[in-house]
């Protein structure tokens, strides 16, 4: 089975950098994804790591270390519109679905 | 592209009634997923299809739930009879890949309230 743990809430200041961690237990997976969800909205794909290391997409970066069963999402130059919930997810080996973590609610304050 | 389309966006129904949720995936996508989101259980997979064929329905709560995908551009999720505990937001998502998909595209969701 799969389990993914994330902090439930994070607060950060506008313009700052924030890191959202995700630790996981899985019997095998293709990679780790990150999704953003604003209140009342749908999950939106941000980034994924199929291999270990850092992937950068604009202000967002994602990191994966399979040996440590750990990943994180890094958000730089925080903006108020970044206030949302962020989910990590794995795609289990042999399947095509995503298994989502519990989500981290990010609040950006002025 | 219009993205994944779901209807209705909101549904309020009484316990015992039949509910049908509809989804049109992105054209050219080969896999379709139905997820349910609640505060208690988070975002959980109900069922997914590859090339219109159901692959994994282990997340379907019970026999009251059924899903079909008669063609590549349409899928339905039916609840009969509905119960108050079925109240949730139901998302449909699609992707090109048929294995190891890490990038999925979600529809706006259907907010279901069963009274």
Kindly state the average pLDDT of the residues A61-74.
96
What's the confidence (pLDDT) of residue B45?
A: 95
Nearest Cα residue in chain B from A48: B102
* A50 at B interface, C-beta within 8 A: yes
CA–CA dist A100, A79 (Å, integer) = 25
Q: With beta carbons under 8 A apart, name residues in chain A contacting B5.
A: none
Dihedral of CA atoms B6, B9, B15, B20 in degrees, nearest 10, equals -20
The closest CB to that of A96, out of B43, B101, B109, belongs to B101
Q: With beta carbons under 8 A apart, name residues in chain A contacting B44.
A: 100
Q: With beta carbons under 8 A apart, name residues in chain B contacting A43.
A: 43, 91, 93, 106
What's the confidence (pLDDT) of residue B1?
A: 64
Contact indicator for B100, A30 with CB cutoff of 8 Å: yes
Contact indicator for B26, B105 with CB cutoff of 8 Å: yes
Do A98 and B45 count as a contact with CB atoms less than 8 A apart? yes
The closest CB to that of B42, out of A48, A96, A103, belongs to A103
Cβ neighbors of A16 (< 8 A, separation 6 or more) are A78
Kindly state the average pLDDT of the residues A90-102.
89
Per DSSP bridges, beta strands A18-26 and A2-5 are antiparallel
Q: Which three-class secondary structure state does DSSP give residue A31?
A: strand
Query: How much is the mean pLDDT over chain B?
Result: 95
Kindly state the average pLDDT of the residues A47-54.
94
CA–CA dist A79, A92 (Å, integer) = 33
Q: Per DSSP, what are the bridge partners of residue B18?
A: none
What's the confidence (pLDDT) of residue A68?
A: 93
CA–CA dist B56, A95 (Å, integer) = 9
Length of chain B: 115
CA–CA dist B63, A67 (Å, integer) = 40
pLDDT band, residue B61 (cuts 50/70/90): confident
Do B106 and A102 count as a contact with CB atoms less than 8 A apart? no
Phi/psi of residue A81, each to 5°? -70, -10
Q: Lowest mean pLDDT: which of A85-94, B32-41, B80-89, B92-101?
A: B92-101
pLDDT band, residue B101 (cuts 50/70/90): confident
CA–CA dist B97, B104 (Å, integer) = 9
pLDDT band, residue B102 (cuts 50/70/90): confident
Do A96 and B45 count as a contact with CB atoms less than 8 A apart? no
CA–CA dist B43, A29 (Å, integer) = 18
């Amino acid at each position: 089975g799969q389990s993914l743990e994330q902090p439930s809430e994070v607060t950060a200041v506008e313009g700052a950098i924030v890191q959202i961690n995700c630790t996981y237990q899985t019997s095998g997976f293709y990679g780790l994804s990150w999704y953003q969800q604003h209140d009342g909205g749908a999950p939106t794909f941000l980034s994924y790591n199929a291999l270990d290391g850092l992937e950068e997409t604009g202000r967002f970066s994602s990191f994966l270390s399979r040996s440590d069963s750990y990943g994180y999402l890094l958000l730089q130059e925080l903006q108020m519109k970044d206030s949302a919930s962020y989910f990590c997810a794995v795609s289990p080996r042999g399947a095509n679905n995503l298994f989502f973590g519990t989500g981290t609610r990010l609040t950006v304050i002025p | 592209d219009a993205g994944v389309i779901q209807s209705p966006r909101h549904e309020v129904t009484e316990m015992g009634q039949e509910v049908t949720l509809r989804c049109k995936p992105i054209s050219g996508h080969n896999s379709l997923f139905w997820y349910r989101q609640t505060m208690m259980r988070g975002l959980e997979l109900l069922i997914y299809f590859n090339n219109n064929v159901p692959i994994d329905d282990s997340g379907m709560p019970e026999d009251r739930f059924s899903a079909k995908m008669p063609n590549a551009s349409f899928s339905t999720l039916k609840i009969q009879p509905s119960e108050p505990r079925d109240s949730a937001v139901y998302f449909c998502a699609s992707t090109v890949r048929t294995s190891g998909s890490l990038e999925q595209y979600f529809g706006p969701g259907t907010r279901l309230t069963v009274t």
